[in-house]
Amino acid sequence: MTRTTHGFVPVEPGLAAPTLHTVLVEQSVSPAAPASGVSSTPRLGVLTGGADSPGLNAAIRAVVCQGIGAGYQVYGLLNGWRGLLNGDARRMDEGTVRDILALGGTILGTSRLSMAMDQADAATVREQLTHLGLRGVVVIGDHETLQTAHLLSRHGVHVVGVPETMDNDIAGTEYCIGFDSAVTTVAEALDKLHTTASAHHRVMVVEVMGRNTGWVALAGGLAGGAHRILVPEAPFTLDELAAFVSKRSMGGHGFSIVVVAEGVNVAATGPRIADNPSPQEGGALLFGGRRQPTPGELIGEALERLTGLETRVTVLGHVQRGGSPSVYDRLMASRFGAAAADAAIAGQWGSMVALRDNKVSLIALAESVSGLRRADAELVRLTETLTGAASGGIYSFKPLVAG
């Protein structure tokens, strides 16, 4: 089931529900997929796969414009790898990508199919590429999408990768499309939560995405003035956290904002987590079954119990993946997309564009799938220092100039 603005509608497992813009693309491009050998003009494909993030459309636009500028025909494959497996391709031209720079989501649609794809699919993909007359494909996507791209590449499929995930943790690159927009959303949410937390003198626990790493929590929490930031990279205990929050309260700080990355290991935080939270404590019904409380909900419940301070939990969820891309994401997606098209045109298959030493570079896809890029220790230390967590002390900002 996929949630739409109209409610829950059934869709084929793994297939993204068609969006308004997917429909527009289907209507605005040539209806028939090209057959091989029809044209001597070289052709390049582009697809978006896995979880979306703001900036995908800016990257698609750059691939299309750069490809056309180099004398190529560019074809968009719909709904990630599914489009390639089914030969579901649409011709893209300047008109197709007009006005999409500032648009969130992806006009090509996406799917999680990459997770299920096995090596046997490589032969089908190669056949489809030949049938469509495509020399290769620019693949814009997350970990799973790039893993599939790497697997296919090892089986002779021509691909160039572009890193995209708001988690910002793909190995080999200092930046992934979507991170800046997501972090901006987190910081804006924290600005809003500050005012209501202060009015009610509450503890606010804010859970953000980042299933394996703490980049979003650290950058968003730092920019949004969180008082504690909990990430998988830095162990903590609930007793210590509760003492920290209580100390803030006793020190005259009327409220506290605690940001939690969804990937924190709550089981490792000491024996303070409730074994069986009641429905009121986070066991609400979802999809007809009782869902597990999230890490943020478990930590919020324990904090209230241990400190006696009124606590509320906000799970930001997919709102972090939506909306218009930030200026930085528009720029990075444009630079990555154009560089990926250049690499494909130069026949540098099996590579991925990356940000290295703040420059757009080309690395081997193998490097990008070699592991996760964890949040760097310097950022963790900085957040600990600026929140006072490092010393266990609480900062109380005094005016520099005596009044």
- Residues marked active site are found at 167
Min CB(166)–ligand F6P separation in Å: 5
Task: Compare residues 167 and 342 and give the one whose CB is closer to ligand F6P.
Answer: 167
Read off the DSSP letter of residue 251: T
Stretch that binds ligand F6P, among 27-35, 203-211, 239-247, 393-401 (CB under 6 A): 203-211
Task: Compare residues 214 and 350 and give the one whose CB is closer to ligand F6P.
Answer: 214
DSSP string computed for 299-319 = HHHHHHHHH---EEEEE-GGG
Which token pair is 274?
Answer: 């409730």
Stretch that binds ligand F6P, among 26-34, 68-76, 209-217, 291-299 (CB under 6 A): 209-217
Min CB(168)–ligand F6P separation in Å: 10
Which token pair is 310?
Answer: 């009124």
88 binds ligand F6P, rule: CB under 6 A:
no
Which token pair is 118?
Answer: 């096995």
Residue in 156, 89, 103, 395 with CA at minimum distance from that of residue 253 = 395
Residue 150, φ and ψ in degrees, nearest 5 = -65, -45
Q: Which member of 137, 209, 222, 365 binds ligand F6P (CB under 6 A)? A: 209
**Footprint (CB under 6 A) of ligand F6P, residues 22-81:** 51
Q: Which member of 74, 138, 166, 264 binds ligand F6P (CB under 6 A)? A: 166
210 binds ligand F6P, rule: CB under 6 A:
yes
Residue 5, φ and ψ in degrees, nearest 5 = -65, -15
Min CB(213)–ligand F6P separation in Å: 9
Min CB(339)–ligand F6P separation in Å: 22
Task: Compare residues 80 and 210 and give the one whose CB is closer to ligand F6P.
Answer: 210
260 binds ligand F6P, rule: CB under 6 A:
no
Q: Which member of 211, 290, 291, 381 binds ligand F6P (CB under 6 A)? A: 211
| 91 three-state secondary structure | strand
Task: Compare residues 72 and 215 and give the one whose CB is closer to ligand F6P.
Answer: 215
Task: Compare residues 111 and 249 and give the one whose CB is closer to ligand F6P.
Answer: 111
| Longest alpha-carbon distance in the chain | 80
User: Contact 185/155 with Cβ under 8 angstroms?
Assistant: no
Min CB(167)–ligand F6P separation in Å: 5
The set of residues, in sequence order, having a beta carbon less than 8 Å from that of 164 and lying 6+ positions away, is 48, 50, 53, 55, 56, 59, 140, 141, 142, 176, 177, 178, 333
Contact pattern for ligand F6P over residues 345 through 364, marking x by CB under 6 A = --------------------
**Footprint (CB under 6 A) of ligand F6P, residues 127-156:** 142
Task: Compare residues 315 and 344 and give the one whose CB is closer to ligand F6P.
Answer: 315
d(CA 129, CA 85): 9
Stretch that binds ligand F6P, among 41-49, 102-110, 162-170, 343-351 (CB under 6 A): 162-170
- Beta-sheet strand order (sheet of 73-77): 89-92, 73-77, 43-49, 136-141, 159-163, 351-356, 359-364
| Helix pair angle (56-69, 327-345), 10° resolution | 40
User: By CB under 6 A, how many residues form the interface with ligand F6P?
Assistant: 8
Residue in 297, 316, 293, 307 with CA at minimum distance from that of residue 253 = 307
Which token pair is 252?
Answer: 């005259």
**Footprint (CB under 6 A) of ligand F6P, residues 311-330:** none
Q: Which member of 48, 111, 128, 165 binds ligand F6P (CB under 6 A)? A: 165
* Alpha-carbon separation of residue 326 from 42, 53, 56 (angstroms): 33, 11, 12
Min CB(210)–ligand F6P separation in Å: 5
Min CB(163)–ligand F6P separation in Å: 12
Task: Compare residues 128 and 181 and give the one whose CB is closer to ligand F6P.
Answer: 181
Task: Compare residues 114 and 256 and give the one whose CB is closer to ligand F6P.
Answer: 114
User: Contact 80/111 with Cβ under 8 angstroms?
Assistant: yes
Contact pattern for ligand F6P over residues 91 through 130, marking x by CB under 6 A = ----------------------------------------
User: Contact 128/33 with Cβ under 8 angstroms?
Assistant: no
Residue in 153, 125, 210, 182 with CA at minimum distance from that of residue 321 = 182
Give the footprint of ligand F6P on this chain (CB under 6 A). Answer: 51, 142, 165-167, 209-211
